[in-house]
């Protein structure tokens, strides 16, 4: 098997969709169009909380070019949807619960007509006081009939009364981050002429869309097909519906194709964000620096609707202590409902917030112990065989020490301030810094997270392979978001079957069962494994067929890297030519089962595996202006086995840029539930000029049972980058800086900063 | 608002008649919705992201900020005009080879911007590359592989 893994890696290729993407020929969902299509558009609530008194669409219906105007009264079937609980209205009927709750949809001959129609809809609202402070949510009037608590997760292990010789406590806050994928939410819904519908949409999981969609349309499941269209990035933000039900409902109503595509300001309300967090930690250690106990209270603001909040809360709790040996722990993670924008999945999924907390604490503890922060981490680093606070034993490679050491091993950049005509200073092209007031800082952070779904969730996938006339066709409903499943699946098939001609069928619910979502760093691990298994099975059948055709004992034959060979060496024939008939096989794949957590203690073997990653950040800070330049980020990342090294580096650099963004610039700013910066002018993401050089070390300790040893890599780089950059800024400034993103005023006016608030320990 | 005009645009060396357009239609809108040139992308439509980058008379600009009717008489080059015969330019080739492409949404605009950069400055420093491309947002790559692609082109062109 090691040989085959080498063969997969040696066969690493460039993206098969690369050529069409660099020439502008790749259709993303917003490029879809049909001759007779209508455009759709959505009217959304301008209020964070209000009662709908009346909606008058009569003037909108008269706008030239308008074909349909629909409100909640016109919905065909189930009026709500949701990934875990159907608590989100397709269109609001009685109340709106966040700024952006959809209240009406229109379809028209062009987008301008739709916009005019939206302006002509008269909605009378009775505006209510929104619940916007997550700390008050549980004692506030219910925002929704389901109440204001999504989930409280408690994990208790060891001796809750034990005290350490050294105790440090801190309160931390993480602002709301946006996935900020570039491709707008968009899709094209096409009636099939038989009462059913085909939806082509940018999504992470066509089958989870399908499961929610058919009941909302009042159609049998087989009458609805969801196909993944070209996806312009996702990062968790395409787990939930955006245009899906609206485009389909309008298309069914008008019996014409309907395209919907959001502008950026609508995108900021049209998908869910990363949960803002308020956290209180208390770390206990011996004087020698061994962790004794971690106490944590984590409060996550889930916003108006449930989405995946219950699992985000669990992740925040499970990973709150960090990848360390922690013999005693008491962790409470609570996710509440408010009238803020709904939050859901984003790269790192609860573990990013937790990591900022536990890593800030490790630095605080190091300071209290007068110990080097890296040495403190190394001293406490988790290893294979250690027990997590959930009681689960870490049975897979856990190269925490190796990740940290690899990040630390890269040479530091020149210590002199990088003065490239001023451009290299904080403030960049503005050339605002006084070089004598610039300080350098270095910070470390390490994080971990589970791969795939957890807590007993039914996590499965399927792959089909058809081998015929030297050509393999793989059908597996994985959403390609840019991560490269289109590359890795072909690499695997090529290594096993030896064929060069490999097609990947569209990811459609009409063609095969679910592959699960492209989320949780799970698709190489899960669907990569399914492709591996199905190709082995096809090869085995080709061998059987060949033996039968030539009356050879199949036991005398072997499959070896694309060939069928006889043990005596006299036969060697490519698998592709071994069987004149088509061979088609489908496999079902599920990872080893996980278990729910005990509701009272949080104990349970909840996870199938984990990924680990460490970063070292180097920053320069302008003390007067509060501007930060990130100078370098180095990383050691546990990848199991890098099957396509260039793709893995790309995942790591991209994840680090998002983590750095959360550290110094990215925040969806919400005031009384109203978002103030829904644009790329005001919500800043790292540009080419912001991004420092990144140095990457793969830590390759192949995981048994994973396909060719490969772990997921998508989320790992996002986990600790934010914490590492924050640590470096603290090192440069000597300030506490307990909140990210760290804004210039947090540095310049640190002395007058208001203390943060977080739940007390219980 | 409803006044309609017709005009001719020269895009990728071909003349296109634009019939009955509203005066205020952006070049981005006309390229996509009227000429079906979908390679020029629409991510922010306010000049922040660079996904809609095109060259107008050799000048790099965000087509979302240009009025189509004001581009009459200019030579407009879009991503589709960079490799008209299906052969990749060295820049496009390098993007594929170096892993500069993930979701691909920013890619056409980024390729146009690199084309512009290397026309003006055949040997850019790392700083010059980063400054020149800082108007083109990419959310997937963190820019590292894109910079590697640019360097590859520069090195290859200098033999």
Please give the Cα distance from A647 to A666 (Å, whole number): 25
How far is residue A321 from each of residues A274, A290, A298, A507, A726, measured CA to CA in Å? 20, 13, 12, 38, 18
SS in 3 state form for chain B? CCCEEEEEEEECCEEEEEEEEECCCEHHHHHHHHCCCCCCCCCCCCCCCCCCEEEECCEEEEHHHCEHHHHCCCEEECHHHCCCCCCCCHHHHHHHHHCCCCCCCCHHHHHHHHHHHHHHCCCCCHHHHHHHCCCCCCCCCCCHHHHHHHHHHHHHHCC
CA B78 from centroid of its chain's CA atoms: 5
Average pLDDT over residues B136-158: 98
Please give the Cα distance from A21 to A16 (Å, whole number): 10
- Going by their DSSP bridges, the two strands B14-22 and A66-71 should be labelled as unpaired
B142 → closest Cβ in A24, A182, A657: A657
Q: Name the residue of chain A whose CA is nearest to B94's CA.
A: A22
- Going by their DSSP bridges, the two strands A694-699 and A460-468 should be labelled as unpaired
Contact criterion met (CB < 8 Å) for B43 and A264: yes
Phi-psi region of A64 (alpha: psi -120 to 50; beta: other; left: phi over 0): beta
Contact criterion met (CB < 8 Å) for A24 and B98: no
Which among A95, A173, A147, A111 is positioned nearest to A746, based on CA atoms? A173
Please give the Cα distance from A228 to A183 (Å, whole number): 14
Distance between A546 CA and the closest CA of chain B, angstroms: 38
How far is residue A229 from each of residues A143, A186, A196, A550, A600, measured CA to CA in Å? 35, 9, 19, 45, 43
What residues in A contact B80, CB-CB < 8 Å? 23-25
Among B49, B91, B103, the strongest candidate for a mutation testing the A interface, having the largest count of A CBs within 10 A, is B103
What residues in B contact A646, CB-CB < 8 Å? 98-99, 145
Are A173 and A279 in contact by the 8 Å Cβ rule? The answer is: yes
Handedness of CA B93, B94, B98, B104 (dihedral sign): negative
Please give the Cα distance from A675 to A271 (Å, whole number): 13
Query: How high is the pLDDT of residue A421?
Result: 67
Contact criterion met (CB < 8 Å) for A232 and B98: no
Q: Name the residue of chain B whose CA is nearest to A16's CA.
A: B96
Token digits of residue A496: 């096993």
Confidence of residue B2 (pLDDT cuts 50, 70, 90): low
SS3 A287: coil
Q: In which residue ranges of chain A is pLDDT below 50?
A: 1
Are A563 and A574 in contact by the 8 Å Cβ rule? The answer is: yes
* Fold (CATH) for A277-453+597-752: Aldehyde Oxidoreductase; domain 4 (3.30.365)
What residues in B contact A188, CB-CB < 8 Å? none
Handedness of CA A202, A206, A209, A215 (dihedral sign): positive
pLDDT in tens, A383-434: 999 999 999 999 999 999 999 999 999 999 987 655 566 778 898 877 788 8
Query: How high is the pLDDT of residue A434?
Result: 87
A687 → closest Cβ in B43, B79, B134: B134
Contact criterion met (CB < 8 Å) for A17 and B104: yes
Confidence of residue B84 (pLDDT cuts 50, 70, 90): confident
Token digits of residue A243: 């245009």
Which among A563, A568, A566, A573 is positioned nearest to A539, based on CA atoms? A563
Please give the Cα distance from A373 to A736 (Å, whole number): 15
Residue B137: how many CA atoms within 13 Å on its side-chain side?
Answer: 27
Q: What is the CATH number of domain A2-26+460-590?
A: 3.30.365.10
**What architecture is the A32-129+183-233+238-270 domain classified under in CATH?**
Alpha-Beta Complex (3.90)
Q: Does A741 sit behind a cis peptide bond, omega within 30 degrees of 0 on the bond before it?
A: yes
DSSP 8-state code for residue A524: I
Distance between A724 CA and the closest CA of chain B, angstroms: 17
Query: How high is the pLDDT of residue A1?
Result: 45
A482 → closest Cβ in B49, B83, B104: B104
Token digits of residue A79: 């009026």
Contact criterion met (CB < 8 Å) for B139 and A235: yes
Distance between B112 CA and the closest CA of chain A, angstroms: 10
Please give the Cα distance from A169 to A165 (Å, whole number): 13
Are A293 and A120 in contact by the 8 Å Cβ rule? The answer is: no
pLDDT in tens, B36-66: 999 999 999 999 999 999 999 999 999 999 9
Are A738 and A360 in contact by the 8 Å Cβ rule? The answer is: yes
What residues in B contact A232, CB-CB < 8 Å? 41, 43, 103-105
Please give the Cα distance from A8 to A268 (Å, whole number): 40
Q: Which residue has the tokens 């900022």?
A: A356
Among A16, A24, A645, the strongest candidate for a mutation testing the B interface, having the largest count of B CBs within 10 A, is A24
Are A346 and A179 in contact by the 8 Å Cβ rule? The answer is: yes
DSSP 8-state code for residue A682: T
> Do A2-26+460-590 and A32-129+183-233+238-270 share a fold?
no
- Going by their DSSP bridges, the two strands A88-89 and A197-201 should be labelled as unpaired
Are A298 and A354 in contact by the 8 Å Cβ rule? The answer is: yes
A119 contacts: CB under 8 Å, gap ≥ 6: none
Distance between B9 CA and the closest CA of chain A, angstroms: 20
Quick one: which H or E segment has residue A652?
helix A645-664
pLDDT in tens, A235-271: 999 999 999 999 999 999 999 999 999 999 999 999 9
Are A328 and A157 in contact by the 8 Å Cβ rule? The answer is: yes
What residues in A contact B49, CB-CB < 8 Å? 182, 680
Token digits of residue A721: 């980058």
Please give the Cα distance from A47 to A127 (Å, whole number): 7
Contact criterion met (CB < 8 Å) for A22 and B92: yes
Q: Provide the ipTM.
A: 0.98
Query: How high is the pLDDT of residue B31?
Result: 98
- Going by their DSSP bridges, the two strands A501-504 and A471-475 should be labelled as parallel
Where do the domains of chain A lie?
Answer: 2-26+460-590, 32-129+183-233+238-270, 277-453+597-752
Distance between A14 CA and the closest CA of chain B, angstroms: 6
Are A673 and A48 in contact by the 8 Å Cβ rule? The answer is: yes
In A219-363, which ranges are E strands?
224-228, 258-261, 277-285, 291-301, 328-336
What residues in A contact B25, CB-CB < 8 Å? none
- Going by their DSSP bridges, the two strands A563-566 and A572-574 should be labelled as antiparallel
What residues in A contact B52, CB-CB < 8 Å? none
Q: List, in order of start, the domains of chain B with CATH numbers.
A: 4-78 (3.10.20.30), 90-157 (1.10.150.120)
What residues in A contact B115, CB-CB < 8 Å? none
Please give the Cα distance from A443 to A742 (Å, whole number): 15
Quick one: which H or E segment has residue A488?
helix A485-497
Please give the Cα distance from A641 to A709 (Å, whole number): 5
A688 → closest Cβ in B32, B104, B133: B133
SS in 3 state form for A137-194? HHHCCCCCCCCCEEEEEEEEECCCCCCCCEEEEEEEEECCCCCCCCCCCEEEEEECCC
Q: Kindly compute the dihedral angle of the four CA atoms of residues B69, B75, B78, B83, in this order, to the nearest 10 degrees.
A: 160
A191 contacts: CB under 8 Å, gap ≥ 6: A197, A251, A252, A255, A256, A257
State yes or no: pLDDT of B1 exceeds 80. no
Token digits of residue A358: 């536990």
Please give the Cα distance from B66 to B2 (Å, whole number): 19
Please give the Cα distance from A588 to A257 (Å, whole number): 34
Contact criterion met (CB < 8 Å) for A182 and B108: no
Token digits of residue A454: 């957890």
């Amino acid at each position: 098997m090691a040989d085959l893994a080498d063969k997969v890696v040696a066969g690493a290729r460039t993206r098969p969709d690369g050529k069409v993407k660099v020439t502008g020929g790749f259709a993303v969902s917003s490029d879809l169009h049909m001759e007779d299509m209508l455009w759709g558009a959505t009217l959304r609530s301008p209020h964070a909380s209000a009662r709908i008194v009346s909606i008058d669409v009569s003037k909108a219906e008269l706008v030239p070019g308008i074909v349909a105007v629909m409100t909640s009264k016109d919905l065909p079937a189930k009026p709500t949807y949701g990934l875990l609980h159907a608590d989100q209205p397709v269109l609001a009927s009685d109340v709106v619960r966040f700024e952006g709750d959809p209240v009406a949809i229109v379809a028209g001959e062009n987008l301008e007509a739709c916009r005019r129609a939206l302006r002509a809809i008269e909605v009378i609202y009775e505006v209510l006081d929104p619940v916007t402070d997550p700390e008050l949510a549980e004692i506030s009037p219910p925002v929704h009939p389901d109440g204001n608590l999504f989930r409280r997760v408690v994990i208790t292990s060891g001796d809750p009364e034990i005290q350490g010789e050294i105790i440090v406590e801190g309160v931390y806050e993480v602002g709301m981050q946006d996935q900020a994928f570039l491709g707008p939410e968009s899709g094209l819904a096409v009636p099939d002429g038989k009462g059913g519908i085909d939806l082509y949409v940018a999504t992470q999981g066509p089958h989870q869309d399908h499961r929610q969609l058919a009941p909302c349309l009042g159609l049998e499941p087989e009458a609805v097909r969801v196909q993944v269209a070209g996806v312009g990035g996702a990062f968790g933000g395409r787990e939930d519906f955006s245009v899906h039900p609206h485009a389909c409902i309008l298309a069914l109503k008008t019996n014409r194709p309907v395209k919907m595509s959001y502008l950026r300001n609508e995108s900021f309300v049209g998908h869910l964000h990363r949960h803002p967090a308020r956290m209180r930690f208390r770390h206990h250690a011996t004087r020698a620096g061994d962790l004794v106990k971690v106490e944590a209270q984590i409060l996550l603001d889930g916003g108006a609707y449930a989405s995946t909040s219950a699992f985000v809360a669990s992740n925040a709790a499970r990973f709150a202590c960090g990848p360390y040996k922690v013999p005693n722990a008491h962790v409470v993670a609570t996710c509440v409902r408010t009238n803020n924008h709904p939050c859901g999945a984003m790269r790192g999924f609860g573990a990013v917030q937790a990591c900022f907390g536990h890593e800030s604490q490790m630095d605080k503890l190091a300071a209290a112990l007068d110990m080097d922060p890296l040495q403190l981490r190394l001293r406490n680093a988790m290893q294979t065989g250690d027990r997590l606070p959930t009681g689960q034993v870490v049975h897979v490679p856990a190269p925490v020490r190796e990740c940290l050491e690899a990040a630390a091993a890269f040479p530091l950049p020149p210590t002199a301030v990088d003065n490239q005509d001023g451009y290299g200073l904080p403030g960049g092209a503005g050339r605002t810094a006084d070089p004598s007031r610039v300080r350098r800082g270095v910070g470390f952070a390490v994080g971990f997270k589970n791969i795939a779904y957890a807590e007993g969730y039914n996590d499965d996938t399927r792959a089909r392979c058809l081998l015929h006339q030297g050509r393999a066709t793989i059908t597996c409903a994985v959403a390609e978001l840019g991560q490269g499943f289109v590359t890795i699946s072909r690499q695997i098939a090529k290594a096993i079957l030896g064929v060069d001609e490999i097609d990947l069928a569209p990811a459609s619910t009409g063609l095969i069962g679910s592959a699960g979502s492209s989320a949780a760093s799970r698709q190489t691990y899960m669907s990569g494994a399914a492709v591996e298994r199905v190709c082995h099975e096809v090869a085995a059948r080709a061998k059987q067929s060949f033996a039968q055709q030539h009356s050879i004992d199949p036991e005398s034959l072997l499959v070896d890297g694309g060939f069928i060979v006889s043990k005596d060496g006299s036969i060697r024939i490519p698998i592709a030519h071994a069987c004149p008939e088509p061979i088609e096989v489908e496999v079902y794949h599920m990872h080893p089962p996980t278990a729910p957590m005990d509701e009272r203690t949080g104990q349970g073997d909840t996870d199938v595996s984990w990924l680990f990653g460490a970063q070292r950040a180097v920053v320069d800070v302008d003390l007067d202006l509060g501007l930060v330049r990130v100078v370098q980020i180095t990383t050691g990342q546990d990848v199991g086995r890098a099957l396509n090294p260039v793709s893995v580096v790309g995942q790591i650099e991209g994840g680090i840029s998002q983590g750095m963004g959360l550290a110094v610039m990215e925040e969806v700013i919400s005031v009384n539930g109203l978002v103030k910066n829904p644009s790329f002018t005001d919500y800043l993401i790292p540009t080419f000029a912001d991004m420092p050089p990144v140095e990457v070390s793969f830590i390759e300790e192949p995981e048994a049972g994973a396909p060719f040893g490969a772990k997921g890599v998508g989320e790992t780089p996002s986990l600790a980058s934010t914490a590492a950059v924050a640590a470096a800024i603290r090192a440069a400034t000597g300030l506490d800086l307990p909140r990210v993103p760290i804004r210039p005023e947090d540095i310049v006016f640190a002395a007058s900063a208001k203390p943060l608030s977080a739940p007390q320990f219980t | 608002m409803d006044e309609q005009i017709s005009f001719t645009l020269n895009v990728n060396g071909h003349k296109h008649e634009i019939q009955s357009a509203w005066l205020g239609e952006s070049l981005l809108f006309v390229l996509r919705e009227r000429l079906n040139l979908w390679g020029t992308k629409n991510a922010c439509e306010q000049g922040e992201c660079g996904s809609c980058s095109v060259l107008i008379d050799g000048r790099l600009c965000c087509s979302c900020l240009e009025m189509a009717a004001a581009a009459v008489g200019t030579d407009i080059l879009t991503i589709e005009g960079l490799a008209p015969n299906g052969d990749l330019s060295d820049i496009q080739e390098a993007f594929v080879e170096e892993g500069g492409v993930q979701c691909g949404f920013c890619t056409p605009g980024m390729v146009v911007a690199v084309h512009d950069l290397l026309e003006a400055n055949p040997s850019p420093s790392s700083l010059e590359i980063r400054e020149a491309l800082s108007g083109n947002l990419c959310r997937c790559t963190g820019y590292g592989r894109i910079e590697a692609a640019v360097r590859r082109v520069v090195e290859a062109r200098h033999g």
